Chain A
Amino acid sequence: MAIYRSHVLVCGGTGCHSSKSDEIKRKFEEKIKEMNLDNEVQVISTGCFGLCEEGPIVVIYPEGAFYSRMQINRVDRIVEEHLYKGRIVKEFLYEESIEADQIIPLSDVDFYKKQKRVALKYCGVIDPENINEYIANDGYMALGKVLTEMTPDQVIDVIKDSGLRGRGGGGFPTGLKWSFAAPNEADQKYIICNADEGDPGAFMDRSVLEGDPHCILEAMAIAGYAIGATKGFVYVRAEYPIAVQRLQIAINQAKTMGLIGKNIFETGFDFEVEIRLGAGAFVCGEETALMASIEGQRGMSRNKPPFPAVSGLFGKPTIINNVETLANIPQIILNGADWFRSFGTEKSPGTKVFALGGKINNTGLVEIPMGTSLREVIYDIGGGCPNGKAFKAVQTGGPSGGCITADYIDTPIDFDTLTELGSMMGSGGMIVMDEDNCMVDIARFFLEFTVEESCGKCTPCREGTKRMLEILERIAEGKGTLEDLDKLEKLGNNIKNTSLCGLGQTAPNPVSSTLKYFRDEYEAHVIDKRCPAGVCQSLLNYYIIDTCRGCTKCARQCPVKCIDGKVKELHVIDQDKCIKCGACMEACPFDAIIKK
């Protein structure tokens, strides 16, 4: 195997890929070849580094130089200076990685300092399309260990002892789940990896699949061994083409090397993995709906019991684990339950990956020990809200979760604390909102989502969420009453208590949590007919401010001729006639028209 003196790691995660990181990689390869360095320097494409805000990202080892916001035209200089002459091009480095003119290790940069990477351990480190890089980092060691040294019961015990809880949202203890399926006698059992990551604003599963697909295959095989399953399915969103492609490459490589397939490590254990694509239905993240979808039916959930561990896919005992949950398994097997318990809190051991997004400076993927406070995540890692705006709330758990306000920002994050606050962990989306976001609008946004995604099987979810949405739309239009607020609460409780599956049972959360913490904002919409954040269109008025030069452009654009004013004089909008179409604002070359 060739040995290289330098390695150029180009992020090939979705974010960086979208900003043309593959072209940057190609340019590096060309230039390196041109300079005759291709025997000394290797260029690889890796999974996500996490700091998507600063992408596209290129890291050069052994120095660990972190080049952010890379551009194609910077490649020549980096190759000539850094790779040829050994001088790091400091001006192109991520600015936080330089302190007093010295390059500091990445692990000391604010964004990475408080993180602990377990599930994302090899994301952004290895080439996901090369199985040898995974194997060189102890890949498939854990599978070897369980197959040759442990009984299935011992495997389940280790996972139980580790206290690992399902990272897909529910937080159910993984070891316990496995132990339900293990004793059931059946001619066939199944392992399913749930990669139907439907929560808007969450992309950790995608990043794991794209950055380290082999760890999922290894974990599925381990789970298969533990419960006696010989077949696995990965159910992945069709919206994730790169993830599907890398996973397929990984499956093919692992099969060729005999790491999945028949008689693995000559122990007589067989395990096959197949990919199944979703087709854009959020409800398929729910386990019974997901299984229906694999079977080729409409993705509708059904009553539990029987639980999938007893009667699941094709009526056989089935264990469904989320991607991030599985990503922890090989590490736990290799390092032991106590090691895993050394991070996180007593009831929620380990780490959790969050996708930080919205109004925050460092958007990206972060993995932190459970129990870290929201403040540390949002300010220390995330760098706070941009443009000096005030932090208002953070939304966790997607359409099933709720908003947490600044008052609770010191709460340590784990499964139970978030639920107590009326939100939930969910799959780990964390969307930060500032003073410009309207909470009624956000609640409406999520309800619209659930209404569209409800499978329609049970009445509370199908009809109830629709009625809630209608009330919210009324409020956003300024036609709501105080009675509506009580109705929302009552209806929400009914839906929570009577829906068939998790989708309906959690659907009212975005409304109930905003109603609880931002009742004043709802009241402003209802009583004063005002949207304090300036978002709800029907409640806004357009005004012309004194930067108006009197160019008359707006008056000419106005479809109802409600703008008055002479040339070179300040214009005025007649509020009674205005239909709030916004044409004037778009036409104004001086930004002199505002909405409030």
Chain B
Amino acid sequence: MQKVFDIKENKQKFDELLAYIESQDKSQGVLMQTLHKAQELFGYLPIEVQKFVSEKTKIPMAEIYGVATFYTQFSLEPKGKHTVGVCMGTACYVKNAQLVLDKLAKELNVAVGATTEDGLFTLEATRCLGCCGLAPVIMVDDTVYGKVDPKDVPEIVANYKK
């Protein structure tokens, strides 16, 4: 799925990002928050947005690209409508989170880290979500599902297909 990024269409978001950049104290290291803000606005960090940040903050593009690709939470690709994250922390792993992940990959017919063709789901293996008492855990957008059995997967997924 190749999505073309339309700068004109996103004018309002760029304005908002600019206002954010101007509100920050430049001496205190602003790049991380700025990229967080940009991702919150655009959903991901297309090269056009990185260039915009570079122009406005006077931080070299190379540095911005370096940071954007270093941290796993920054995404250079657009994500699906829903993000399904399977916790791969130790507590979940020893309770067979791998089987849940495999089942999800099969059910959604998508590789881990990729987005389904219809653009509905992005499947991810995430770091520990910190609710180890509920292991194994999956998180769909902001909702956490605990003690997930691979058998529960079709039902959970179906809720988001509507």
A: residues with CB less than 8 A from B are: 14-15, 17-19, 52-53, 55, 197-203, 206, 238-241, 274, 276-282, 293-299, 314, 355, 357-359, 363-364, 395, 398, 429, 431, 433, 437, 442, 445-446, 455
Contacts and interface: CB of A to CB of B under 8 A. Distances in A.
A363 B147 CA distance: 12
- B31, B36, B128, B132: most-surrounded residue (chain A CB, <10 A): B132
5 contacts: A15-B131, A18-B146, A274-B28, A282-B127, A437-B94
Interface residues of B, number: 40
Given A200-B91, A442-B94, A279 B72 contact: yes
Contacts of B94: 358-359, 431, 433, 437, 442
A355 B126 CA distance: 19
B90 A296 contact: no
A28 to B, nearest CB: 21
B133 A200 contact: no
Interface of B: 27-33, 35-36, 59, 63, 66-67, 70-74, 88-91, 93-95, 126-135, 137, 142, 144-146
Contact of B132 (A277, A281, A299, A355): A355
B107 to A, nearest CB: 12
B91 A296 contact: no
Contacts of B88: 200
Contacts of A445: 90, 93
B35 to A, nearest CB: 7
A197 B32 CA distance: 18
A281 B146 contact: no
A424 B35 CA distance: 35
Nearest to A18: B144
Contact of B90 (A15, A276, A358): A358
A279 B131 contact: no
B59 A281 contact: no
Given A201-B89, A445-B93, A294 B29 contact: yes
B131 A18 contact: yes
Contacts of B35: 279
A2 B28 CA distance: 43
Nearest to B30: A296
Contact of A201 (B72, B91, B145): B91
A295 B126 CA distance: 25
Contacts of A395: 90
Nearest to B106: A586
B78 to A, nearest CB: 18
B72 A281 contact: yes
Given A18-B146, A200-B90, A359-B95, A52 B71 contact: no
A382 to B, nearest CB: 12
Nearest to A436: B94
Given A201-B90, A240-B130, A298-B66, A280 B32 contact: no
Nearest to B146: A18
B67 A52 contact: no
A194 to B, nearest CB: 15
- B35, B66, B88, B127: most-surrounded residue (chain A CB, <10 A): B127
Given A297-B63, A299-B70, A359-B94, A199 B36 contact: no
Contacts of B67: 296-298
Contacts of A200: 88-91, 93, 127-128
A398 B90 contact: yes
Contacts of A197: 130
A240 B88 CA distance: 16
Contacts of B29: 294-296, 314
A202 B128 contact: yes
A4 B74 CA distance: 47
A455 B146 CA distance: 31
B130 A280 contact: no
A385 B90 CA distance: 16
Nearest to A456: B70
